[in-house]
Chains A and B, each alone.
Chain A
Amino acid sequence: MTDMVSPTPLRTPAEDTLLRRFPAEKAALPGNDTVRSLRDEAFAGFAAAGLPHRRVEAWKYTDLRANVRAIAPAAPAADIARVGALPSAVPGDNARRLVVANGRFVPELSDVAELPAGVTVGSLADALASGDPLVLGALSKVPQAEENVAVQLNAAFMTDGVVILVADGLSLDRPIEIAHIADGETAVSTHVRNVVIAGAGANLTVIETIESVFRAAHQSNIVTDIVVGDEAHVDHIRLQLEPDDALSLTAVTATIGAKARFETFNAVLGAGLARAQVFARFAGREAVGGFRGATLLSGRRHADTTLVLTHDAEACESRELYKAVIDDEAKSVFQGRINVPAHAQKTDARMMTASLLLSEGAEANAKPELEIFADDVQCGHGATCGALDDDLLFYMLARGIPKAEAEKMLILAYLGEAIDEVENEAVRETLIHRVEDWLARRVAG
C-alpha cells in the first residue's frame, strides 16, 4: 500500500526543526544544479507529508511523529584521532576499511591505497558536486524508495558517503567495509548516502557497520544504493551497533541485473528506535536474491524491518528470512512485501519471518504481504510468533543443563538459521559473538 497521508493538523517540534533547517543548510550541501533540484523535490515530499505516523499504512507500527521528539543538530566534523582509535567492529574480516565519520568520508582513515585496477573508491560529495551521471542514476531508483519519507529526508540532507565502482568481470578477494561512526558527546544527526555499482560479472562483498564513539542519542539516516550488474554477485552485510537510545533510519536499495546474485543480511543490535528498510528490484531475468536479518531487542527498544521486493523480470528467485528475539518491553516489527507484476512469470519467492518473545512485556508485529498479478508463480510466506518451546527446554533441563544455558543454546540455534547463511566467516563469527554477548548480558541483567 502506498503511504496514505491523513491531514496533518499540527507540526511537531521535530518537523519544525527540519523545515527550518533545510532552507538554512541547503546552500552548503554538496551538489550541482541537478542535485539541488533533486534535494528540493525530495524535501518537498517530506514537507507535504510531515513525519510519518501510525495512520500512514507503511509506518503503522513505527510512529516517527510520536517518537521523534527533537532533531539533533547536524554533526560537526569528527575528531579524527578519536574516530581513528576505534577498532573495526568486525575483527579478522581482512577488509579494506572505509571510514565515514559524522556523515563525511575520511580518506586519511580509509584503506584506499593500492586499489586493484578497475576499482574506484571516492566520496559521494565529490560525485554530487560534479553531478556524476552514473552515481546520480543509481540514487534509489527502486519502487517505493523515492516516495519513502526516510529516504526523502536522506536525499534532501545527504552530506557525503562513499562511492564504490567495480569494473566488469572483476572479482575482489578482500571485502570492503564501510564503517559509519558518529562522534559527539551529545547527540548529532547525520545523513549518509553510499553508492555501490558492480559491473557485469563483478564479484564483491560489502560490509557496513554503524557505531559511535560515545554512547549518545545520535540520529543517523544512512541509505546505500547498490546496483548489481548482469551476472554479478554482491554480498551485502550490515551490522547496526548504535547506542541504545539512538534513532537509526537505514535503507538499502538494490537493482539486480539478469542472472545476478544479491545477498543482504542486516543485524539490528542497537538503537532505541530503528527502522531498517530494504527496497529491491529484480531488473533482469533469472536473478537470485537472498534477504535476511536478525534483530535482538531488550529494554524498551523498538526495531522495524521493512522490505519491499519487486520481481520485475521473469524467472527470478528470492528467499527472505527475518528473525527477531524480543526481551523485556521491547517491540519488534516486520513488514515484508513481495510484488509480482503480470510479466514476472516463473517467479519463485519465499518469505519467512519469526519472532521469539522472551518476556511478558515483549511485543511482536508482523505484516508479510504478497501482491501477485502473474499466474505461473510459486510464492509463499510464513510468519510465526511465540515463546521458547517448553518441551525443548524441559529436555535440556532434564539432562542437567542449567536453564540460562539451555535458553542460550535454543536462542542461538533459532538465530543460527539466519546467521548461518552469511557467507563471510569473519562476519559470521562476529555476529555469533555479539549474540552471545547479548545473551550473557541478558542473563546477568
Chain B
Amino acid sequence: MPAVQETIEQVSAIDVDKYKYGFFTEIESDLAPKGLDESTVRFISAKKNEPEWLLEWRLEAFRRWQTMTEPTWARVHYPKIDFQDLYYYAAPKKTAGPKSLDEVDPELLRTYEKLGIPLKEQELLAGVVSDKPRVAVDAVFDSVSVVTTFKKELAKHGVIFCSISEAVREHPELVKKYLGSVVPTTDNYYATLNSAVFSDGSFVYIPKGVRCPMELSTYFRINEKNTGQFERTLIIADEGSYVSYLEGCTAPTRDENQLHAAVVELVALDDAEIKYSTVQNWYPGDAEGKGGIYNFVTKRGDCRGRNSKISWTQVETGSAITWKYPSCILRGDNSRGEFYSIAISNGRQQVDSGTKMIHLGKNTTSKIISKAISAGRSDSTYRGLVSIGRKASNARNFTNCDSLLIGNKCGAHTVPYIESKNASAVVEHEATTSKISDDQMFYCLSRGLDEEEAIALIVNGFVRDVLQQLPMEFMVETQKLISISLEGSVG
C-alpha cells in the first residue's frame, strides 16, 4: 500500500524509540566478574550453593560449548557477539529468601508496578477482583527469581512452583530426573551455553491427576547493563494433570545489545496437558537498529506419555533479534502438539521463528498457525519442520503460515521443511503473503475509522486464530500490545 504523507508523519511521531517499558531501575546488584571461563561457571554454581552433580553437569556443558560454533543458518544479521564482554550473573542484592512481598526491595516492586504485573497477591486475595482468575507469578529479575507468589495455596494441591535454584535444593530427585532430558546439554550452541551458566528460572511440577487451580506465570526482566539472561524453565506435568503457564518479558532501553539465551523444557506424561503462552516485548532497539535484546531461545516440549498434549502460544512483538523455535516431540501415541504464533516486527527487528513438530508415536496430531506481520524495515521469517517418523502411523499435521507486509522496506519469508516417512500420515501446509487489501481499507475508512484504527482492526482480525488461544486475561493485553507495536507503521 502506498504510504501517504500523513502516515509517514505518524511513523516518525510514534516509533519504536518510544518503548513503553524503557525505564531502568536503580537497584544495587551483585555481579559476577565479566567474561566467561570455568571459574565463572564455578562462581555461579557456588553462589547458588549447588550440589556437586549440578556443577559437574554445568562444567561438562561448558567444555562442550567451547568446541561448538555459533549457528549462522538463521536469516538474521548482527555483529558478532563477544561472549567475554558479558556479565553472566547479575542478581539484585538483598535476595536472601524473601518470605513475603514486604521484604522485597520496594524499588523492585515499583518496577513491576510500572510493568503492570499482578505481583501483589494481597490485592488479589482481598477479593476486589474475586471474579478474575488468579495468577501465580514467579518474577525473575535479571538472572534471579525474586519472588514467587501463591506458593502456599499451590502447595495445598501438591503443585510445586518455585525458582529452579530452590527446586535443586528442595526437590533434587525431580530436577535430576528431568533437567536436560528434553533439551540435552549438547543440543545447540545457545542451549549448551545456557546449561553451563543458567542462573535461575522457574520450576513447575504438577502431580498426578491435578488440574492446576490457577494460571502460573513468570515475568522476566533484564535490568542490569551488559548482562546476559540465561534462565531455565522446567515444567513437568505428571499423568492426567493440566497446567497453563504464561511467561512475559521486558527489558529497559539500553544502547548495547543484551543477550537472552533461555531454555524451556516441558515434559507431559500420560494424559497430561501443558499450555505454554509467551508474551515477549523485550526492548526491540531504536529506529536505527541500535540496542535491543538478542533473543536466542530453545524451547521444546516432550509429549512423553500417551494422549498427552503440549500447546505453545507466542506473541512476539519485541527483541532486536528473535531466534526461537518452540517445538514438540510427539513421542506418546495419540499425543498432540500445537503452535500458535503472532510475530510482529517493526523498525529494524529481525525475527526468525517457527516450530518443529516431530511425530514419532502413532495417531499423533499437530497444528501450526503462524501469523507474521512485518512493518518498517524489519524482516520476519517463519522456519518450521514437520517430520513424520517411520512408526508414526496415521499422524496428521496441518500448517498455516500467513504473512502480512506493511510497507515495502520490510520482508517476509517462509521456510518450511516437510519430511514424511509414513504413507498413512497426512501433512498439509499452506502459506500466503499479502498486504492489507485496498478493499478492506476502503471499507473501514468509509465507515469512519481512521487509517490507524483500520489497520489495527484488520491486523487483529488477521491474528484472531492465535489470539483466541491465549488465556483470557492476556488476550486483552495482547490486543493492546499489537496496536502499540504497529502504531505509526506505514499504512
Name which residue of chain B comes closest to A360, CB basis: B423
B403 within 8 A of A: yes
A365 near B417: Cβ-Cβ < 8 Å: yes
Q: A371-B413, A372-B403 are in contact. Are A365 and B419 (CB under 8 A)?
A: yes
B434 near A379: Cβ-Cβ < 8 Å: yes
A387 within 8 A of B: yes
In the complex, the 5 A-B pairs of residues with the closest C-beta atoms, listed nearest first = A357-B423, A375-B405, A386-B426, A383-B429, A385-B427
Q: Which of B389-437 contact A (CB under 8 A)?
A: 390, 403, 405-435
Q: What's the least CB distance linking A96 to chain B, in Å?
A: 41
A359 within 8 A of B: yes
A305 within 8 A of B: no
B72 within 8 A of A: yes
B53 within 8 A of A: no
Name which residue of chain B comes closest to A371, CB basis: B413
Q: How many B residues touch A, CB cutoff 8 Å?
A: 38
Contact of B417 among A359, A367, A374, A380 (CB under 8 A): A367
B413 near A372: Cβ-Cβ < 8 Å: yes
Contact of B426 among A1, A366, A371, A385 (CB under 8 A): A385
* Complex: A365 Cα to B417 Cα, angstroms: 7
A387 near B424: Cβ-Cβ < 8 Å: yes
* Complex: A381 Cα to B407 Cα, angstroms: 22
Q: What's the least CB distance linking A407 to chain B, in Å?
A: 13
A377 within 8 A of B: yes
* Complex: A365 Cα to B421 Cα, angstroms: 9
Q: A367-B415, A372-B411 are in contact. Are A377 and B435 (CB under 8 A)?
A: yes
A395 within 8 A of B: no
| Pairs across A and B, CB under 8 Å, 23 listed | A57-B73, A345-B408, A358-B423, A360-B423, A365-B417, A368-B431, A369-B415, A370-B403, A372-B405, A372-B411, A372-B433, A374-B408, A375-B1, A375-B406, A376-B408, A380-B430, A381-B429, A382-B429, A383-B427, A384-B426, A385-B426, A386-B423, A387-B424
A342 near B414: Cβ-Cβ < 8 Å: no
Q: Which of B362-405 contact A (CB under 8 A)?
A: 388, 390, 403, 405
A384 near B427: Cβ-Cβ < 8 Å: yes
Q: Which residues of the other chain, A, contact B408 by a CB distance below 8 angstroms?
A: 342, 345, 373-376
Q: Is chain B's binding surface mostly helix, strand, loop or mixed?
A: strand
* Complex: A36 Cα to B80 Cα, angstroms: 40
Name which residue of chain A comes closest to B387, CB basis: A365
A384 near B433: Cβ-Cβ < 8 Å: no
Q: What's the least CB distance linking A324 to chain B, in Å?
A: 11
Q: Which residues of the other chain, B, contact A160 by a CB distance below 8 angstroms?
A: none
Q: Which of A332-382 contact B (CB under 8 A)?
A: 342, 345, 355, 357-360, 362-382
A375 near B407: Cβ-Cβ < 8 Å: yes
A357 near B420: Cβ-Cβ < 8 Å: yes
Q: Which residues of the other chain, B, contact A362 by a CB distance below 8 angstroms?
A: 421, 423
Q: Which residues of the other chain, A, contact B434 by a CB distance below 8 angstroms?
A: 377-379
Q: Which residues of the other chain, A, contact B416 by a CB distance below 8 angstroms?
A: 366-369, 383
* Complex: A153 Cα to B424 Cα, angstroms: 39
Q: What's the least CB distance linking B414 to chain A, in Å?
A: 4
A364 near B73: Cβ-Cβ < 8 Å: no
Q: Which residues of the other chain, A, contact B72 by a CB distance below 8 angstroms?
A: 4
* Complex: A345 Cα to B1 Cα, angstroms: 10
B411 near A384: Cβ-Cβ < 8 Å: no
Q: Which residues of the other chain, A, contact B412 by a CB distance below 8 angstroms?
A: 370, 372
B411 near A363: Cβ-Cβ < 8 Å: no
Q: A375-B405, A386-B426 are in contact. Are A380 and B431 (CB under 8 A)?
A: yes
Name which residue of chain B comes closest to A380, CB basis: B432
Q: How many A residues touch B, CB cutoff 8 Å?
A: 36
Name which residue of chain A comes closest to B490, CB basis: A375
Name which residue of chain B comes closest to A375, CB basis: B405
Contact of B73 among A4, A376, A384 (CB under 8 A): A4
Most buried by B among A358, A370, A377: A370
Q: What's the least CB distance linking A71 to chain B, in Å?
A: 29
Q: What's the least CB distance linking B96 to chain A, in Å?
A: 49
Q: Which residues of the other chain, A, contact B405 by a CB distance below 8 angstroms?
A: 372, 374-375, 377
Q: What's the least CB distance linking B368 to chain A, in Å?
A: 12
Q: A residues engaging B (CB < 8 A)?
A: 1, 4, 57, 342, 345, 355, 357-360, 362-387
Q: Which residues of the other chain, A, contact B420 by a CB distance below 8 angstroms?
A: 355, 357, 363-365, 385-386
Q: Which residues of the other chain, B, contact A377 by a CB distance below 8 angstroms?
A: 405, 433-435
* Complex: A359 Cα to B405 Cα, angstroms: 41
* Complex: A381 Cα to B401 Cα, angstroms: 10
A375 near B429: Cβ-Cβ < 8 Å: no
Q: Which residues of the other chain, B, contact A385 by a CB distance below 8 angstroms?
A: 388, 418, 420, 425-428
Q: A373-B411, A376-B408 are in contact. Are A383 and B418 (CB under 8 A)?
A: yes
Contact of B411 among A355, A371, A378 (CB under 8 A): A371
Name which residue of chain B comes closest to A60, CB basis: B417
Q: Which residues of the other chain, A, contact B407 by a CB distance below 8 angstroms?
A: 375
Q: What's the least CB distance linking A363 to chain B, in Å?
A: 5
Most buried by A among B415, B420, B428: B420
Q: What's the least CB distance linking A336 to chain B, in Å?
A: 11
Q: A365-B417, A385-B426, A385-B427 are in contact. List 12 more A-B contacts (CB 8 A).
A: A4-B72, A4-B73, A366-B418, A368-B431, A370-B431, A371-B411, A374-B405, A375-B408, A377-B434, A381-B414, A386-B423, A387-B424
Q: Which residues of the other chain, A, contact B433 by a CB distance below 8 angstroms?
A: 370, 372, 377-380
Name which residue of chain B comes closest to A381, CB basis: B431
Q: A345-B408, A355-B420, A372-B413 are in contact. Are A381 and B435 (CB under 8 A)?
A: no
Name which residue of chain A comes closest to B2, CB basis: A376
B413 near A370: Cβ-Cβ < 8 Å: yes
Q: Which residues of the other chain, B, contact A4 by a CB distance below 8 angstroms?
A: 72-73
A384 near B435: Cβ-Cβ < 8 Å: no
Q: A4-B73, A363-B421, A377-B435 are in contact. Are A386 and B410 (CB under 8 A)?
A: no
Q: Which residues of the other chain, B, contact A363 by a CB distance below 8 angstroms?
A: 419-421
* Complex: A369 Cα to B383 Cα, angstroms: 9
Q: Which residues of the other chain, B, contact A364 by a CB distance below 8 angstroms?
A: 418-420
Q: What's the least CB distance linking B269 to chain A, in Å?
A: 30
Q: A358-B423, A382-B430, A385-B427 are in contact. Are A370 and B417 (CB under 8 A)?
A: no
* Complex: A383 Cα to B431 Cα, angstroms: 9
* Complex: A374 Cα to B411 Cα, angstroms: 7
Contact of A376 among B1, B413, B421 (CB under 8 A): B1
A369 near B410: Cβ-Cβ < 8 Å: no
Name which residue of chain A comes closest to B436, CB basis: A375
Contact of A373 among B388, B410, B421, B426 (CB under 8 A): B410
* Complex: A362 Cα to B429 Cα, angstroms: 19
* Complex: A161 Cα to B427 Cα, angstroms: 41
Q: What's the least CB distance linking B275 to chain A, in Å?
A: 28
Most buried by B among A1, A362, A377, A383: A383
* Complex: A406 Cα to B412 Cα, angstroms: 43
* Complex: A57 Cα to B388 Cα, angstroms: 20
Q: Which residues of the other chain, B, contact A359 by a CB distance below 8 angstroms?
A: 423
